[in-house]
A and B are shown apart, each in its own frame.
Chain A
Amino acid sequence: MARRYDSRTTIFSPEGRLYQIEYAMEAISHAGTVLGVLAKDGIVLAAEKKVTGKLLDLSGAKEGGYGGSGEKIFLLNSNVITGVAGITADANSLVNYSREAAQRHLYMYNEDIPVEMLAQRLCDLKQGYTQYGGLRPFGVSLLYAGHDVHFNFQLYHSDPSGNYSGWKATSIGANSGTAQSLLKQEYKEDITLEDAISLVLRVMSKTMDSTTLGSEKLEFATLTLDAEKRPKAKIYRPTEIDSLLRKHDLAKKEEDTEMKS
Chain B
Amino acid sequence: MKIILNGKSKKVNSNQKVIDLIGLLKIDSKFIAVAVNGEFVSKKNYSKIFLNDGDVVEVVSPHPGG
Q: A and B bound?
A: no
